[in-house]
Structure 1
Amino acid sequence: MKFKYTILICILLLVGCSDDYLDKEPLSDVTENNFFLKASDLQLYTNGFYRMLPSTSIYDGDAVADNIVSTTLSEEMRGARTIPTTGGGWDWAYLRDINYFIENYEKCEDESAKLHYSGVAYFFRAYFYFQKLQRFGEVPYYETTISADDMESLQAPRESRQFITDRILEDLDRAIANLNEEVQAYRITKYSALALKSRVALYEGTFGKYRNLPGFETYLNASVDASLELMENSPYGVYSTGSTGTDYMNLFNSQDAQTSEMILSRQFTQTVAVDHNVNYYTTTSSYGRPGMPKDLVNSYLMADGSRFTDLPNYNQIFFTDEVADRDPRLSQTVRTPGYTRKGEAMELAPNLGATMTGYQLIKYVSEPVYDTYDESISDLPVLRFGEVLLNFAEAKAELGTLSQADLDASVQLLRNRVGMPAMSLDDANSNPDAFLEDQYPNVSGANKGVILEIRRERRIELYMENHRWNDVVRWKAGQALTKPLRGLYFPGAGEYDMDSDGNADVVLFEGDEPEGQVQGVQYIKIGSDIFFDADNLIDPQPDFNNRMFDEERDYLYPLPRVELQLNPNLTQNPGWE
C-alpha cells in the first residue's frame, strides 16, 4: 500500500503526545480516504518529519572538522573517506513522506491547519534538500511521489546547484507565508523558516563566491533580507540577564530552551526517557576525550579586544596566564580557573584525562546528576537568533555593503552579552589579522579584514553547534583542516597548578611513576599518556600530523556505487570516480 502507516506514529521521543491523540482511530483502520481530514491528522503526520532534525549530532559538524579533537580523528580530517557501496547519506525516504503529505493535505477542511502544516512540510522539504546539497552538491529533484515502476523518474539525472537552491528557497518562501507566527521552541514556525532561509542563502552565496559561480550575490542578498526580517520583526533577541560571566554558558546548559533566543531546539526530557550524552562525553576519560584545539583558543581575543596572537611567544604561555583576561566566552566554553559545575560550589581544574588537548569542554554541561551515559537533558539548539545576526553581518561583508551600523546591530549584540568591546569595521579592514589570514588565505578585497573577524566571531560564538564543517566547505577553506592539531603548553616535566589555588593539580613525569602520590592530583607520563611537539605543546594525534585535503574532491561526498549502477544517468562527484 502506498500509504505509510509508520509515519502516523506519534513521535513520543520528540514532541510528546497530547491527550487528544488517545481518541484516534486504530492505525489498522487508517486509510488514504479517512485521513488528512482534520487538523489533528495533519499534525500527527507532520510530527514524523521532526525526526530529521539533529539530536546529539548537533556537534558533529565540529567533531568531523577541526573544532573538536578526540581520541579518533574523523575520516574527513584524516582524508580517509571511501566510496560507500550503499548508504552514505543517499537516503530519500523522508522526501517521499513529505511529498505524499503535500499531495494529500488539502483534503482537510480546516483552512488554518492546511496553511500551517503545509508550511511545516515545505520547511522540511527545503531542509531535506539543503542537507543533500551540502553533502552531494547536484542531486535529482522530486516534488511528487513516484511509483516503483516509474523508471523515467527513478533514473532522473542530477539537477544543477542553482536549480536545487532555487527550489529550496521557493519552499522556504511558501513556508514563511503559511506558517504560524509564534514562539515555539520545539515546533516549526514562520521564524524557523526565516532562520533556515538566512542559513541556506548564506551557504550558497558564499559557496558560489569562493568558486566564482555566477549569481552568488542573489543568494547573499536573500540571506540579508531573511536575517533582517528576523532582526526587525520577530520576538527574538540575544539572551542576557546582564551577567557577562555566565549568560553565554547558561544559554546552553539550561534544561529548557531559552526561548528569547532559541528559535528551534531539540527537546530532551526524562519524562519520556529522551536523553543525550554531552555530560558523559565531556567529563569521562573513556568516551572520546574531546578537547578544543589550541588554534581556536588562540583565536579568542583579549578582554580589551586586542589580539592574543599579537602577544610575544603566545604559544608558550602557561594555561593560567593564557586564559586570563580573555573574551569571556572562552571560560564559558572550556574549563578555566574558577570554573564550577552548574548547581555546585567546588571549583574544578581541567581534567586532562577527559580531554585530548587539555582544554576541557563545558558547553551544554549541566549538573553532575546527569553525568551517567545518555542521561543529559539540556535542550540542544537547531536554529538560534545569534546565528542569524552572524549570517547578516557576513552576507553584507561578502557583498561589500557592510557598515559600522550593521555591525553594531548584529555582532555587537553578541559581544554585549559577554561585555566585549565593539568590532570596528575600519580597524579590521586597515589591519587584517595575520593569524586569521594564514587560516583563510583566499579572502581578499576591501573587506578582507572584517570578513576574517566575522569568521573569528562565528567560530567562537557557534562552537559545538554543527557549523564548522559546513563553514569550511562553503568558504573553500579545506586547507585549514590540515593545520597542526595542538593543545596546552607545558614547559616540561614537573608539578602544575591548573586552577591558581596554590596546589598542584597535574604532575607530568618521565620514567617511573612518582612515589607518595597525592589523592586528587593527576599523574601523567610523558611519551605514554601524553605527547608533546618540539615546542612543548600537547600533540593529541601524533600519528596524523601529515593530513591532506584534496581541493578537487573533498568538499563533496561520493555517491554510493549501487546508486550509480541503478541509475545510469547519475554521475559521480569529481575526484571520486
Structure 2
Amino acid sequence: MKHTIINALFLSAAIACISCEDMLDYQPKDRLSPDTYFKTETDCELWTNNYYTVFPSAEGIYSEPYDVIVRDVLADEISGVRKPMPTDGNWNWEKLREMNFFLSRASQVEDESVRLEYEGLTRFFRAYFYFEKVKRYGDVPWVDRPLGSDEEELYKGRDSRESVMEKVMEDVDFAIANLPEVQNVYRVTRWTARALKSRIALFEGTFRKYHGLDGYEEFLQACVNASEPFLTGPYSIYTSGSTPYQDLFTSQNAIETEIILARAYTSAISGMTHDVNGHLTGATMGRPGMTRNVVNMYLMRDGSRYTDQENYAIKTFVEECKNRDLRMAQTLRTPGYKRIGGSKELAPDLSRSTTGYQLIKYLTEEKYDANKASTNDMPLFRLAEVLLNYAEAKAELGTLKQADLDNTIRPLRVRAGLPDLDMEEANANPDPYLSSPETGYANVTGDNKGVILEIRRERTLETPMEGLRYWDIVRWKEGKRFEKPIEGLYFPGTGEYDLDGNGSVDVCIYDTEKAPGNSADVLYLKLGSDIVLSEGTSGNVLAHSTQQRIWNEARDYLYPIPTDDRVLTQGAISQNPGWNDGLPF
C-alpha cells in the first residue's frame, strides 16, 4: 500500500506541474485544458496528490535542534543570528495557488460526493498551509482564489491573525465534515482533519493565552471538541512487544494502531529515502544529543521525581539510568542497549553526540546506515499527540478532571511503565524543577499549575524529534529556555569511565599533553579541547560553551518578513515588530 501511494504522488506531480498560467492563456490540443479536466474522481485525485508535498520531510521531523535536542551547530533561532533576508523559502505561495485553482474549478466535478470529498481535502491542506504561515509570521495575506499576474490583490498587505485563523478553522471544519471517515495511514481522512484541528486549536489557544491576546478560550474548547472523538475512536496507544515506544518509530511501515498519518519512504523509488541512521550515528552529521535538563525530567519507575533525589545533579550515567521511565531507554542509548538486529552492547558515543545522551529514536538496523538509506516511515500525526492536546487544553481552560487524565495521560504512562498521574496530588505539590525559571517553565500559574507542568513533562518526553518542540516553546512564551547552558553527561573529573556498566572502559578524559593510552575501544578526550566540563575539571559536558544564545522576547516569537516582498508591495506587507530591515516603509 505504501508503494502504491508513493507511485500515485509521482504520477500526480507530472499533472500538477502543468503551469496554471499557461493553461489560462491557451489550450493547445496536446495539453490538458482546465475546462475539460476536473471531471472525474481520477482527475481530482491526481491533482490533489501533489498537496502532500507540503508536509515536512523526514529531516524536518527528526532533526529539531533546540532545547530538548542539540546538534553541533546551533539553530539560527536560538543563536541570535536571524535577520531579515531578501527571500525566505517559507514565504512561498505556490501550493496555495494549486489549492485555490482546484477550488475554482471544483464545480466541474460531475459526482457531488466526489466534489465534496476533494474540496474537503483541498481545504484541509489550505488550513494546514495557512496555519504554518501564521505560526511563523503572525499576520499574513489571506487569498482564497487564483490570482492573475496583473491583479492588484497580488500586492495586498497582511490580513490580521484573527481573520486568517477564522478562515483556517472554517476550512478545517469543512474538511472534517466532508472527508471520508475510514482510517488510512497514508491518506488524509476525517481523522487526520480532526487531528489537525486539535493541533491548530491548541497552538492558537495557548499562544493567545500566554501572549496576552483575546479569544483563547474559544480555541482551547475547539481543541477539546476536535480531540474528543479519539477517546472512543478506532486508534489506540501501541503497546505490543517489549519496546513499543521505540518500535513505533523504527517500523519500516507506519503502525496504524496509533499513527493517524505518516509520510511514506521506500528504497524502491529513487529519492524516496532519508538519512536518520546517519544523523544519529555519524561523526559529521550533526551529532545530536538530548540535554541533561530534559533527561532530568524522566520520572522514576515508581512515579517519583528524579530531581527530588539527593545529589541527583551529580549522578553518573549508569546511576541516573536506573529505574527510570521506560521511554528513556527507548529514546537514548542506556546501559544494556543493543542495536536493532545486533548482539553487541553499545555505550553512548560522545564523538557522535554533543551531550553524550545519544539518541536512538528512529534508529534502525546497520544495513540502513549507508548514505540516505533509511526507509522507516515518518509519523505526521499520531494519537499520543491528540491525547496530550486534549489534556492540556482542558487543564488550561480549568475544566480538566481526573477522568480526563485517565483517558489521555494514563495510556502513555502505562506504556512508559509509570503509575497514573494524580491531578489532586500534582496541583497540591507542583514540581519545583519544572516550575523553576532555570530548569522549567516559569509562566505557568493558577490552580492547575501542577497538572499543567506534568502534562508538559509528558509532552516533552513523548514527542522529541517530532517537529513540535520549537512551536511548543513559542506558544508557551518560554523562549528564554533557549538561552540556558546546554549540558550533557556528568563526569566527576578526569579518568576512565565505563558508561554502560559492563566492566570495560568506554571513555577516558585526560588533562595531560598526550592521551594515556591508545585502545581502539576507548574514546580519549582531552579536557578543555575535546570536552569542556561545567566546573572546569568536573561537571556536566558543555556543548557550545563559547557561543552565546540570545532570545529577544519582544521580537523572536515571529520570523522576519523577507524584504523582497516588502519592496515588491511598496510596504503594504509590513515588517514584524523588532525586525529592522532598513526599508523606509
Same topology, TM > 0.5: yes
Compute the displacement of 1:13 (Å): 11
The corresponding residue for 1:252 is: 249
Compute the displacement of 1:12 (Å): 8.7
1:21–1:282 CA distance, 2 compared to 1 (3 A): closer
Q: Give secondary structure in 2 for the equivalent of 1:453.
A: helix
Counterpart residue identity of residue 405, structure 1? A
Counterpart residue identity of residue 217, structure 2? E
CA distance in 1 between counterparts of 2:223 and 2:198 reads 4
Within the candidate set 7, 14, 20, 1:16 is matched to 7
Counterpart residue identity of residue 54, structure 1? P
- Cα shift readout 1:186-237 (whole Å, capped 9, x = no counterpart): 11100000000000000000001112222110000000000002222x3111
The corresponding residue for 1:322 is: 320
- Cα shift readout 1:404-443 (whole Å, capped 9, x = no counterpart): 0000000111111122111110111111111111221111
Query: Residues 300-319 of structure 1 correspond to what in structure 2 (within 5 A)?
Result: 300-319=298-317
Query: Residues 406-445 of structure 1 correspond to what in structure 2 (within 5 A)?
Result: 406-438=404-436, 439-445=440-446
Compute the displacement of 1:516 (Å): 4.7
- Cα shift readout 1:321-359 (whole Å, capped 9, x = no counterpart): 011111010110010011111122221111111100000
CA distance in 1 between counterparts of 2:9 and 2:529 reads 55
The corresponding residue for 1:44 is: 46
TM-score when scaled to structure 1? Answer: 0.94
Q: Judge conservation of contact 2:327–2:416 (CA < 8 Å) in 1.
A: yes
Compute the displacement of 1:93 (Å): 0.7
The corresponding residue for 1:3 is: none
The corresponding residue for 1:75 is: 76
The corresponding residue for 1:499 is: 500
Q: Judge conservation of contact 1:61–1:470 (CA < 8 Å) in 2.
A: no
Q: Judge conservation of contact 1:88–1:560 (CA < 8 Å) in 2.
A: no
Provide the aligned C-alpha RMSD in A: 2.1
CA distance in 1 between counterparts of 2:167 and 2:494 reads 59
The corresponding residue for 1:6 is: none
Farther-moved stretch of structure 1 (371-380 vs 384-393): 371-380
Counterpart residue identity of residue 562, structure 1? D
The corresponding residue for 2:227 is: 227
Q: Give secondary structure in 2 for the equivalent of 1:265.
A: strand
Query: Residues 71-470 of structure 1 correspond to what in structure 2 (within 5 A)?
Result: 71-151=72-152, 153-232=153-232, 234-241=233-240, 243=241, 245-273=242-270, 274-438=272-436, 439-470=440-471
Compute the displacement of 1:43 (Å): 0.5
CA distance in 1 between counterparts of 2:149 and 2:502 reads 69
Compute the displacement of 1:498 (Å): 1.0
Q: Judge conservation of contact 1:266–1:379 (CA < 8 Å) in 2.
A: yes
CA distance in 2 between counterparts of 1:85 and 1:374 reads 32
CA distance in 1 between counterparts of 2:248 and 2:13 reads 35
CA distance in 2 between counterparts of 1:574 and 1:193 reads 32
The corresponding residue for 2:27 is: none
1:383–1:435 CA distance, 2 compared to 1 (3 A): same
Q: Give secondary structure in 2 for the equivalent of 1:299.
A: coil
Counterpart residue identity of residue 7, structure 2? G
CA distance in 1 between counterparts of 2:174 and 2:468 reads 25
1:22–1:461 CA distance, 2 compared to 1 (3 A): closer
1:308–1:94 CA distance, 2 compared to 1 (3 A): same
Counterpart residue identity of residue 541, structure 1? H
Q: Judge conservation of contact 1:61–1:467 (CA < 8 Å) in 2.
A: no
CA distance in 2 between counterparts of 1:199 and 1:311 reads 35
Compute the displacement of 1:515 (Å): 5.2
The corresponding residue for 1:541 is: 544
Q: Judge conservation of contact 1:57–1:466 (CA < 8 Å) in 2.
A: no
Q: Give secondary structure in 2 for the equivalent of 1:119.
A: helix
CA distance in 2 between counterparts of 1:479 and 1:87 reads 25
Give the count of matched residue pairs: 561
Q: Judge conservation of contact 2:273–2:374 (CA < 8 Å) in 1.
A: yes
Counterpart residue identity of residue 8, structure 2? C
Q: Give secondary structure in 2 for the equivalent of 1:286.
A: coil
CA distance in 2 between counterparts of 1:471 and 1:18 reads 31
Compute the displacement of 1:111 (Å): 2.9
Q: Judge conservation of contact 2:59–2:276 (CA < 8 Å) in 1.
A: no
The percent identity for this pair of structures is 44
Q: Give secondary structure in 2 for the equivalent of 1:352.
A: coil
CA distance in 1 between counterparts of 2:9 and 2:519 reads 55
Compute the displacement of 1:171 (Å): 0.4
Counterpart residue identity of residue 350, structure 2? L
CA distance in 1 between counterparts of 2:527 and 2:516 reads 16
- Cα shift readout 1:438-457 (whole Å, capped 9, x = no counterpart): 22111100001111111111
Q: Judge conservation of contact 2:3–2:266 (CA < 8 Å) in 1.
A: no
Q: Give secondary structure in 2 for the equivalent of 1:394.
A: helix
CA distance in 2 between counterparts of 1:399 and 1:491 reads 45
Q: Judge conservation of contact 2:16–2:50 (CA < 8 Å) in 1.
A: no
Compute the displacement of 1:520 (Å): 1.8
The corresponding residue for 1:7 is: none
1:25–1:235 CA distance, 2 compared to 1 (3 A): closer
Farther-moved stretch of structure 1 (184-193 vs 533-542): 533-542
1:150–1:326 CA distance, 2 compared to 1 (3 A): same
The corresponding residue for 1:8 is: none
Q: Give secondary structure in 2 for the equivalent of 1:533.
A: coil
Q: Give secondary structure in 1 for the equivalent of 2:486.
A: coil
Q: Give secondary structure in 2 for the equivalent of 1:73.
A: coil
The corresponding residue for 1:523 is: 524
CA distance in 2 between counterparts of 1:542 and 1:526 reads 13
1:469–1:13 CA distance, 2 compared to 1 (3 A): farther
Counterpart residue identity of residue 236, structure 1? Y
Q: Give secondary structure in 2 for the equivalent of 1:381.
A: strand
Compute the displacement of 1:113 (Å): 2.2
CA distance in 2 between counterparts of 1:67 and 1:543 reads 19
Counterpart residue identity of residue 69, structure 1? V
CA distance in 2 between counterparts of 1:50 and 1:571 reads 30
- Cα shift readout 1:337-393 (whole Å, capped 9, x = no counterpart): 111111222211111111000000000001110011211111111100000000000
Q: Judge conservation of contact 1:340–1:346 (CA < 8 Å) in 2.
A: yes
Q: Give secondary structure in 1 for the equivalent of 2:558.
A: coil
Compute the displacement of 1:87 (Å): 2.1
Compute the displacement of 1:106 (Å): 2.4
Q: Judge conservation of contact 2:485–2:545 (CA < 8 Å) in 1.
A: no
Compute the displacement of 1:25 (Å): 13
Q: Judge conservation of contact 1:481–1:549 (CA < 8 Å) in 2.
A: yes
Compute the displacement of 1:463 (Å): 0.8
1:61–1:157 CA distance, 2 compared to 1 (3 A): farther
Compute the displacement of 1:18 (Å): 9.4
1:61–1:115 CA distance, 2 compared to 1 (3 A): farther
CA distance in 1 between counterparts of 2:16 and 2:531 reads 61
Q: Judge conservation of contact 1:56–1:276 (CA < 8 Å) in 2.
A: yes
Counterpart residue identity of residue 282, structure 1? L
TM-score when scaled to structure 2? Answer: 0.93
